[in-house]
């Protein structure tokens, strides 16, 4: 997976968008809800023994007669986790490639911004991934890792989560949300205090499947089968059901306050970046 | 139901690949999809329709197999029934009555032809003829093949027993034999005998006789006509022999007969024909024939010791001038023998020839028929044949003989005057040496004193010197014209050579010749049984051929086509409408 320099420069101008304040472990450039030493004034609180006397606001003491200390917001990095679905359902119509490309874009942006990044390619198990990557120097490692991500069959919830002990402030799930575990995927991966962005990768061919006649359809992930006679009416019902399913995913994200973005496999990557910059997306300009 | 081409049943084996191909075509293509849940929702909506599709598939398979079975059965040519085949013996009556003018023979042939054309293909037919002898016209033939026409009927009887016996020859073991008789009379043993006769009026010439008075150019003719029909009928009888004469036949009631007499001038002789004019049912019995020799003065020779035979000389003088000029008397010796060989009749009075005698009258001659070894004195006459033509006009009841040497009885001798010691007067009118012989000298009897002697001499001359035709024949009867050698027969249409017995083919006069000798033979039909024109007996008509059933292969082919068409329709209904062409999912 290779991005040219122009595209890298474009990505350098972007930042992962976290709608909530997150506090990473390492200092960074993002405001944190924790008190820190940045220039952003956060508020006052009553003095408690042990506080640094340099933070006591003597003007307040003069007016109120009680000791208060001034607190400033801390600037931490963003700990982001990108989960890419490489299950068998993603092998259709270029969804897998598009998902890995989007993950590469987001990861590159995160590493360029100095955020801490973990990623995984998951199916029925965690097939590939990296932990606590930081800095532009890890971009090549990220891109290579995504390029070499394998292929799996099913979709396992546990395999998509961040590494143990990690509490990412932003989780990005790039998936087609197909398979029996897809519905629980969002609920499981949503961080307690962070954001989750669901990037729904779909292919236009899914709306117009090349299926006709008497067929026995087999689920690429579960191996389940169903017999069906596909005619125009069946195709119409299929399209209606598929649209309803996609809309249902969007509705569930909205209900849970999650960001949702549908990504078409036919959309060029730069256009996807543009769409990710829109409200509700996962990117923002610096 | 039988199958004419059972080999086609092997086509049923195609049911296995056909069913396999059908099931293969009904097998669903396997395709992999990323998310089956959406398709499951579609399938749930389709479930009732899929149940109907399963039923349609089953019906389609049954229709295909049914179409195959029907087409196979049609190709195997099923026959509608397994009844055994029938061998039909068509026996035609070729007796003369079938040749009646009402066309019964043609009607029988037409009925047989129509009957044969409707027979099933498995049946066979054979034509037999019941004539004087039963005979088959060719072998058994399959129904539909051209049949030989029966002979034209002209025979004197129909041998039904023989025909039925011949009909059984060559019948297939598995076939039923049925006899169809085409006759104008009742036929025993025939299953079917359609009535073919319609005409019933018929007159027949039952008999024809003629006689030429001594040295006369005229002949007296008598013809007997019988009504053999079933209605009263008259006609005209035409007599011809050089001259012609018409005699009216009075109306005759059925079974009655009449004898008509006439006189014809026939010095040259020829064929005497009696024909009924007016037409009736049967033509073959309307004519009778006889051969009349020409009037010719006979050459007579009397041979007697010392050239003296006053009684015979007187009797011959009474016959003049009807005798040949060379007639005369001679003394025994080689010259007399030579002269006797050239004469039509020789009178050997108390003497005999040294060589084999020709036609002769022997009087107390050792050359005649064999006699007892010793003379008998005054043999008593015990009887005489008053009806014999030699004794016509004679009365020998007062014949007395003082000395005689009677003859030994022999089968070829007609005894004209008999005595206790043996025949005194005998005659042999047939055979190579016809003769009349007296067992006594004229001087030893009172025969010269009776008026009988001149008549006896004339009768002897008349009978022994005339051309001797064969006895009258009836059609179909055999005749041996000459004991040995080849002969030539002329029936008016030209000479034909033959040898051995000859069978009279039809009424008429036939002249046989051999080595310069010729003898005519008159043939009559004269068969009362065949001339009898009775109303037709009730016919046992042929069963009508059942209406030709529709060959089973036609409805079977229709069933196969309908099943195939219905299956094609179901296939169209089964095919998804508006489906896109399948492509690879990736």
- Residue that wins the pLDDT comparison between B81 and A196: A196
> Is the ipTM here above 0.85?
no
pLDDT value for B584: 39
Q: How far is B56 from chain A (nearest CA, A)?
A: 14
pLDDT score of B113 more than 60: yes
Q: For residue A243, give the chain B residue with the closest CA.
A: B38
Mean pLDDT, residues B409-431: 91
**Whole-angstrom Cα distance, residue A243 to residue B362?**
150
Question: Are A214 and B26 within 8 A, CB to CB?
Answer: yes
Confidence of residue B581 (pLDDT cuts 50, 70, 90): very low
The number of C-beta contacts closer than 8 angstroms across A and B is 126
**Separation CA B266–CA B10 (nearest Å):** 87
> What is the spatial distance between Cα A142 and Cα A133, in angstroms, rounded to a whole number?
8
pLDDT of residue B556: 86
B35 contact A CB<8A? yes
B225 neighbors B206 (Cβ within 8 angstroms): yes
**pLDDT surpasses 90 at B238:** yes
- Secondary structure element (H or E) that encloses residue A264, with its range: strand A259-264
B37 C-beta neighbours (distance < 10 Å), count = 19
Q: For position A24, what pLDDT does the model report? A: 64
Pairing of strands B473-474, B517-524: parallel
- Provide residues of A within 8 Å CB-CB of chain B: 88-93, 95, 176, 178-179, 206, 208-222, 224-235, 237-238, 241-242, 245
Among B87-96, B303-312, B410-419, B539-548, the range scoring the smallest mean pLDDT is B539-548
Of A64, A63, A46, which Cα lies nearest the Cα of A55? Answer: A46
Helix axes A5-12, A269-276, angle to 10 degrees: 0
Provide the pairing of β-strand B203-211 with A79-85. Answer: unpaired
- The shortest C-alpha distance from B583 to chain A (Å) reads 5
- The answer to whether residue B572 neighbours chain A at the CB level (below 8 Å) is no
Size (chain B), residues: 586
Longest dimension (CA), chain B: 160
B 46-65 residues inside an 8 A Cβ radius of A? 46, 49-50, 53
Q: Determine how many CB atoms are found less than 10 A away from the CB of residue B177.
A: 16
Which residue is listed with tokens 């051969």? B291
Contact flag A214-B29 (C-beta cutoff 8 Å): yes
β-strands B233-241, B243-252 pairing = antiparallel
Chain B residues near residue A239 by CB distance under 8 angstroms:
none
Distances (CA, A) of B571 to B15, B53, B288, B567: 18, 10, 88, 6
Alpha-carbon gap, residue B43 to B532, rounded angstroms:
97
- Token duo for residue A237: 């019902």
A237 CB neighbours in chain B (<8 A) are: 41-42, 45
Paired residues of A31 in beta bridges? A75
Does B579 lie at the interface with A, CB-CB under 8 angstroms? Answer: yes
pLDDT value of position B245: 94
**Separation between Cα atoms, residue A82 and residue A173, nearest integer Å:** 6
Total-model pTM: 0.50
- B16–chain A Cβ distance below 8 A for any pair: no
In angstroms, the Cα distances linking A153 to A86, A179, A187, A227, B233 are 8, 10, 21, 22, 122
Q: What percent of chain B has pLDDT over 70?
A: 94
DSSP β-bridge partners for residue B287? B275
Go through chain A and tell me how many residues it has: 286
Nearest one of B164, B158, B83 to B126, comparing CA atoms: B164
* From A82-91, A95-104, B63-72, B274-283, the region with the lowest mean pLDDT: B274-283
Closest CA to B575 of A226, A231, A227: A231
pLDDT 10s digits, B452-495:
788 888 888 888 887 666 667 888 788 888 888 899 998 777 88
Band of pLDDT at residue B302, cut at 50, 70 and 90: very high
d(CA A191, nearest CA chain B) in Å: 27
- β-bridge mates for residue A74, sequence order: A32
With an 8 Å Cβ cutoff, is B23 touching chain A? no
Instruction: Report the gap between the CA of A69 and the closest CA in chain B (Å).
Output: 58
* pLDDT tens digits, A76-96: 778 889 999 999 999 999 999
DSSP string across B374-406? S-EESPPEEEE-TTSGGGTT---TT--BSEE-P
- List chain A residues with CB under 8 Å of B42: 228, 234, 237-238, 241
The whole-angstrom distance between B53's CA and the closest CA on chain A is: 9
- Is it the case that residue B261 has pLDDT exceeding 50? yes
B512 within 8 A of B482, measured Cβ to Cβ: yes
Q: Give the Å distances, CA to CA, from B170 to B145, B150, B176, B190.
A: 17, 19, 12, 18
* Mean predicted lDDT score pLDDT of chain B: 85
Q: What is the pLDDT of residues A153-180, one digit of tens each?
A: 888 777 888 887 777 888 899 999 887 7
Residue of A176, A208, A215 to mutate when probing chain B, most B C-beta within 10 A: A215
């Amino acid at each position: 997976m290779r991005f040219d320099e122009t595209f890298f420069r474009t990505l350098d101008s972007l930042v992962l968008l976290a709608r909530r304040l997150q506090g990473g472990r390492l200092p960074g450039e993002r405001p944190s809800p924790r008190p820190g030493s940045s220039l952003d004034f956060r508020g006052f609180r009553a003095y408690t023994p042990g506080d640094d006397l340099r933070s006591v606001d003597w003007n307040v003491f003069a007016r109120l007669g009680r000791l208060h200390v001034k607190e400033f917001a801390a600037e931490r990095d963003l700990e982001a986790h990108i989960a890419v679905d490489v299950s068998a359902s993603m092998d259709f119509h270029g969804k897998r490639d598009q998902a890995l490309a989007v993950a590469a874009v987001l990861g590159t942006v995160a590493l360029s911004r100095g955020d801490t990044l973990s990623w995984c390619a998951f199916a029925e198990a965690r097939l590939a991934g990296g932990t606590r990557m930081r800095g532009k120097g890890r971009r090549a490692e990220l891109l290579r890792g995504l390029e070499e991500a394998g292929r799996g069959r099913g979709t396992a919830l546990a395999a998509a989560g961040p590494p143990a002990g990690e509490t990412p402030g932003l989780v990005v799930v790039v998936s087609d949300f197909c398979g029996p575990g897809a519905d629980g995927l969002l609920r499981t991966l949503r961080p307690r205090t962070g954001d989750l962005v669901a990037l729904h990768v779909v292919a236009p061919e899914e709306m117009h499947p090349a299926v006709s006649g008497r067929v026995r359809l087999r689920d690429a992930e579960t191996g389940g089968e169903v017999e069906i006679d596909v005619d125009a009416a069946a195709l119409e019902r299929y399209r209606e059901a598929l649209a309803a399913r996609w809309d249902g995913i969007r509705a569930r994200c909205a209900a849970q306050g999650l960001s949702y973005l549908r990504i078409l496999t036919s959309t060029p990557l730069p256009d996807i970046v543009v769409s990710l910059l829109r409200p509700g997306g996962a990117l923002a300009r610096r | 139901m039988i199958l004419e081409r059972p080999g086609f049943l092997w086509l049923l084996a195609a049911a296995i690949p056909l069913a396999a191909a059908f099931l293969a075509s009904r097998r669903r293509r396997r395709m992999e999809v990323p998310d089956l849940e959406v398709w499951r929702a579609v399938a749930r909506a389709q479930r009732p329709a899929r149940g109907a599709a399963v039923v349609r598939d089953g019906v389609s398979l049954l229709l295909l197999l049914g179409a195959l079975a029907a087409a196979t059965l049609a190709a195997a040519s099923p026959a509608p029934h397994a009844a055994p085949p029938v061998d039909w013996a068509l026996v035609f009556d070729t007796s003369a009555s079938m040749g009646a003018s009402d066309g019964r023979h043609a009607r029988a042939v037409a009925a047989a032809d129509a009957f044969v054309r409707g027979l099933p293909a498995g049946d066979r037919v054979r034509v037999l003829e019941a004539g004087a002898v039963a005979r088959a016209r060719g072998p058994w033939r399959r129904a539909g093949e051209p049949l030989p026409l029966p002979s034209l009927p002209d025979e004197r009887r129909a041998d039904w027993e023989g025909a039925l016996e011949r009909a059984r020859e060559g019948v297939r073991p598995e076939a039923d034999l049925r006899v169809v008789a085409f006759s104008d009379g009742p036929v025993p043993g025939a299953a079917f005998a359609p009535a073919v006769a319609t005409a019933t009026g018929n007159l027949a010439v039952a008999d024809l006789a003629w006689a030429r008075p001594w040295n006369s150019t005229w002949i007296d003719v008598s013809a007997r006509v019988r009504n053999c029909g079933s209605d009263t009928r008259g006609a005209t009888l035409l007599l011809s022999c050089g001259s012609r004469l018409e005699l009216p036949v009075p109306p005759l009631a059925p079974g009655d007969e009449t004898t008509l007499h006439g006189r014809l001038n026939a010095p040259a002789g020829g064929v005497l024909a009696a024909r009924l004019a007016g037409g009736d049912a049967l033509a073959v019995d309307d004519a009778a024939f006889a051969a009349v020799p020409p009037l010719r003065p006979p050459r007579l020779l009397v041979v007697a010791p010392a050239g003296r035979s006053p009684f015979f000389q007187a009797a011959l003088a009474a016959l003049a001038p009807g005798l040949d000029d060379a007639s005369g008397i001679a003394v025994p010796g080689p010259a007399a023998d030579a002269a006797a060989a050239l004469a039509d009749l020789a009178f050997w009075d108390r003497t005999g020839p040294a060589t084999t005698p020709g036609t002769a009258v022997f009087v107390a001659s050792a050359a005649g028929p064999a006699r007892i070894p010793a003379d008998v004195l005054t043999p008593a006459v015990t009887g005489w044949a008053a009806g014999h033509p030699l004794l016509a006009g004679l009365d020998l009841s007062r014949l007395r003989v003082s000395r005689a040497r009677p003859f030994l009885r022999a089968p070829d001798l007609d005894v004209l005057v008999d005595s206790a010691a043996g025949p005194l007067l005998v005659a042999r009118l047939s055979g190579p040496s016809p003769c009349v012989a007296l067992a006594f000298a004229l001087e030893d009897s009172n025969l010269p004193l009776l008026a009988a002697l001149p008549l006896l001499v004339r009768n002897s001359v008349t009978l022994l010197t005339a051309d001797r035709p064969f006895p009258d024949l009836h059609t179909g009867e055999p005749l041996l014209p000459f004991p040995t050698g080849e002969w030539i027969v002329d029936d008016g249409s030209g000479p034909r050579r033959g040898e051995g017995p000859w069978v009279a083919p039809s009424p008429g006069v036939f002249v046989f010749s051999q080595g310069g000798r010729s003898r005519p033979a008159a043939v009559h039909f004269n068969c009362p049984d065949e001339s009898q024109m009775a109303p037709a007996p009730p016919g046992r008509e042929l069963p009508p051929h059942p209406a030709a059933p529709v060959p089973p292969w036609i409805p079977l082919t229709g069933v196969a086509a309908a099943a195939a068409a219905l299956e094609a329709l179901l296939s169209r209904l089964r095919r998804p409408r508006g489906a896109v062409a399948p492509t690879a999912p990736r």
